[in-house]
Amino acid sequence: MSMQTGLATSTTQLRTYAPSTDVSVAAPAPRLEIARGRSTAARQNPRTEPGPIRFVIIALAVTFLSVFVVLPLVVVFASAFSKGVGAYFAALAEPEALAAIKLTLLVAAVSVTLNLVFGVVAAWAISKFEFTGKTFLITLIDLPFSVSPVISGLVFVLLFGAQGYFGPWLQAHNIHILFAVPGIALATIFVTFPFVARALIPLMQEQGTQEEEAAISLGASGLQTFFRVTLPNIKWGLLYGVLLCNARAMGEFGAVSVVSGHIRGETNTMPLLVEILYNEYQFVASFAIASLLAMLALITLVVKTVLERRLDETEVPDGD
Amino acid sequence: MAIEVKNIVKKFGSFAALDNVDLKVADGELLALLGPSGSGKTTLLRIIAGLDWPDSGEVAIDGENALTRGASERQVGFVFQHYALFRHMTVFENVAFGLRVQPRAIRKDEATIRARVKELLDLVQLDWLSNRYPSQLSGGQRQRIALARALAIEPRILLLDEPFGALDAKVRKELRQWLRSLHNEIHVTSIFVTHDQEEALEVANRVVVMDKGKIEQIGTPGEVYDNPATAFVHGFIGESIVLPVDVSGDAVRLDGRPLNIAAHGAASGAAKLFVRRHDMAIGPAGSGALDGAIRHVRSFGPIQRAEVALSGREGSTVIEIDAPRDRELQAGEIVSLQPRRYRIFATQD
């Protein structure tokens, strides 16, 4: 996911260095010429494959996608509704299911909010200031992506577990982190930390500090500069990061599984409940919850596409 | 407002961007900071604006210490090289920004702000663009909007970083004249940075020539062009012919042969002779200080430009001279050159 984000932004970055769009000066005539040039180039493009080969390649891609992406998605919904709509909604209305949905929403809300703040601060520090250890910090931000989620969960067990570093102290003060909501939130925050920062760093680096300097020289305070200049410039990138962060926070399984303790009705998030129900042969209930997560994925996909389009628009060069 | 800069030192790592710079700017002046890239001119401008801080030294604006105030409190209008217009705001909102962020106690009401912005857009003759976004403007329009935005806060001084740097030649020329007449109209003390000598000489009342973090010369355009203080200024401003010479006493030698010119007080030893292209008199062979063969002549407008190969001990040196067209020169002709006006600067190594 993060790789995608990086690639997308770097291509737009390249575009920024293209000659400025001198709308009022550019006459329509040269544009037409360009368009004509393009169409002849397409006709004579040496890389254009003959029809049958093109067909085979496209068919392969479509088949692959159908088998590995569309089919599972269809199966999820088919299984969820296999005993009818009534059974589907009854499964979702189970207290355990409701508790899992509530917990998932709570954990997502907490971790997305905190990562929003952390992400903006980290991206701000990296893109607007020069300091030693900057590359190290960038690498560190990526750490949660390169570590297996199970390890991420284990880290918190090692820290806060009964045998962990802070375990005895926490027990003495009757503070519950592991096998409770705080532990789940911590693990989720750790795993989803990079999304917002990763979405913002290339964007903010590309935008530089000139607009902020201009705002300050016009008499704006630090806060005014942030809310009136910086934030509007990064808002689409920020929403993009938040969206991906949210999708991962709600869908996270590995890290949460390690710290959750699987207490029914208390520390089971939706992905955990899906597994438990499945293992107990409650297929309709299991797939009903799974269908919610699948819908989240579909909504995320649509919003992501819209946001990417907006991001592209805001990054259209405005000069130099 | 008058600006006074004293003993400014600014280092980036081990690189001295500004090395003990002193500068006084009088009220109402239009001053150019001219120099090659890396000469420290932009750094000096940013320090005056409060966007950079000197390692040591003083900056006073209108007699009061500016270094105790941040950029947002200095009331300095700054026009950035790439304009730095707020891309998500319309032209109108860009210009209004400085008025909208004022502390509530002194902030004007909406009607006053609107009237002021309109006035400024009229001043830069772009009233009709007020609902456009920066990305919909041409370079020259952006430049003028950036200027209007900087003027909105009624700046005590106006600083412009390479104001015409990113524009094409024709727009550049127009904007230059426009900036001059605007300055005549509003009379705010202004400093602009440029690496383009023509721009500096044409627009500014006074020119500050900088190189390697030091000020080489301060003077009117005429002074820096006609009486360059250093070898650098002579070489940087206007086209010069530069020849290596030896000075001993009042005698000047090129390649061991005496030149029939006076040293004018240049120190004995290795030196460089600077002559403007149009300050070389051309006479028949043997009549002047330097003999050479014309290799090529191009005539355009009122002058003819000739490439002359001066023969010396180590092969020939080719120089370009400008001559009036009263006597047509021919390729292959042997001529003698005599500097009419020249400067000799000791070589510093």
Tell whether the model's pLDDT for residue B47 goes beyond 80.
yes
Q: What is the pLDDT of residues B231-253, one digit of tens each?
A: 899 989 888 888 888 888 888 88
- Min mean pLDDT across A81-85, A137-141, B311-315 is at B311-315
Q: What is the pLDDT of residue A46?
A: 65
CB-CB under 8 Å, A218 with B88:
no
Short-list B185, B83, B129, CA closest to A217: B83
Share of chain A above pLDDT 90, in %: 50
State mean pLDDT over B64-91.
Answer: 92
Whole-angstrom distance, CA of residue A279 vs CA of residue A97: 15
Tell whether the model's pLDDT for residue A1 goes beyond 70.
no
Sign of the alpha-carbon dihedral angle for A57, A59, A62, A63: negative
Q: What is the pLDDT of residue A102?
A: 94
B112-147: buried (b, 16+ CB within 10 Å) or exposed (e) per residue? Answer: ebeebbeebbebbebeebbebbbbbbbbbbbbbbbb
User: Confidence class of residue B349 from pLDDT cuts 50, 70 and 90?
Assistant: low
Q: What is the pLDDT of residues A113-135, one digit of tens each?
A: 999 999 999 999 898 888 888 88
For residue B52, the chain A residue with the least C-alpha distance is: A213
CB-CB under 8 Å, B77 with A220:
no
Residue A156's alpha-carbon distances to A266, A271, B145, in angstroms, are 19, 19, 55
Whole-angstrom distance, CA of residue B321 vs CA of residue B302: 14
Comparing B303 with B85, which gets the higher pLDDT?
A: B85
Residues of chain A with C-beta less than 8 angstroms from the C-beta of B80: 210, 213-214
Two structure tokens written together for B92: 């109108």
Whole-angstrom distance, CA of residue A81 vs CA of residue A94: 16
Residues of chain A with C-beta less than 8 angstroms from the C-beta of B136: 23-24
Pairing mode, if any, of strands B30-34 and B189-194? Answer: parallel
Tell whether the model's pLDDT for residue B312 goes beyond 90.
no
CB-CB under 8 Å, B80 with A214:
yes
Residues of chain A with C-beta less than 8 angstroms from the C-beta of B71: 213, 216-217
Which segments of chain B are extended strands (E)? Answer: 3-12, 15-25, 30-34, 56-61, 64-65, 76-79, 157-161, 189-194, 206-211, 214-219, 240-248, 251-254, 257-259, 269-276, 280-284, 290-300, 303-312, 315-324, 334-339, 343-346
- Min mean pLDDT across A191-200, B48-57, B159-168 is at B159-168
Running DSSP on this structure, what letter comes out for residue B51?
S
Share of chain B above pLDDT 90, in %: 46
User: Confidence class of residue A188 from pLDDT cuts 50, 70 and 90?
Assistant: very high
Distance from CA of A209 to the nearest CA of B (A): 9
A209 at the B interface (CB within 8 A)?
A: no
Q: What is the pLDDT of residue A231?
A: 92
For residue B95, the chain A residue with the least C-alpha distance is: A218
A317 at the B interface (CB within 8 A)?
A: yes
Tell whether the model's pLDDT for residue A157 goes beyond 60.
yes
Whole-angstrom distance, CA of residue B267 vs CA of residue B44: 33
Q: What is the pLDDT of residue A41?
A: 47
Whether A277 and A292 have beta carbons less than 8 Å apart is answered as: no
- Min mean pLDDT across A31-45, A228-242, A272-286 is at A31-45
Residues of chain B with C-beta less than 8 angstroms from the C-beta of A231: none
| CA gyration radius, chain A | 25
Tell whether the model's pLDDT for residue A42 goes beyond 70.
no
Q: What is the pLDDT of residues A3-22, one digit of tens each?
A: 444 333 333 333 333 333 33
State mean pLDDT over A40-53.
Answer: 66
User: Confidence class of residue A272 from pLDDT cuts 50, 70 and 90?
Assistant: very high
Distance from CA of B165 to the nearest CA of A (A): 10
Residue from A217, A224, A314 whose CB has the most chain B CBs within 10 Å, to mutate: A217
User: Confidence class of residue A308 from pLDDT cuts 50, 70 and 90?
Assistant: confident
Residue A292's alpha-carbon distances to A71, A140, A161, in angstroms, are 17, 33, 32
Whole-angstrom distance, CA of residue A218 vs CA of residue A216: 5
Q: What is the pLDDT of residue A25?
A: 38
A231 at the B interface (CB within 8 A)?
A: no
Short-list B267, B204, B208, CA closest to B23: B208
DSSP string, B140-201: HHHHHHHHHHHHHT--SEEEEESTTTTS-HHHHHHHHHHHHHHHHHH--EEEEEES-HHHHH
Whole-angstrom distance, CA of residue A176 vs CA of residue A168: 11
Q: What is the mean pLDDT of chain B?
A: 89
Short-list B171, B217, B210, CA closest to B343: B217
Whether A218 and A26 have beta carbons less than 8 Å apart is answered as: no
Whether B24 and B3 have beta carbons less than 8 Å apart is answered as: yes
Distance from CA of B174 to the nearest CA of A (A): 15
Please, which residues have CB within 8 angstroms of residue A42's CB and are 6 or more apart in sequence?
A: A48
Two structure tokens written together for A95: 């207290």
Q: What is the mean pLDDT of chain A?
A: 82
Residue from B97, B133, B153, B161 whose CB has the most chain A CBs within 10 Å, to mutate: B97
Q: What is the pLDDT of residue A45?
A: 64
Tell whether the model's pLDDT for residue B93 goes beyond 60.
yes
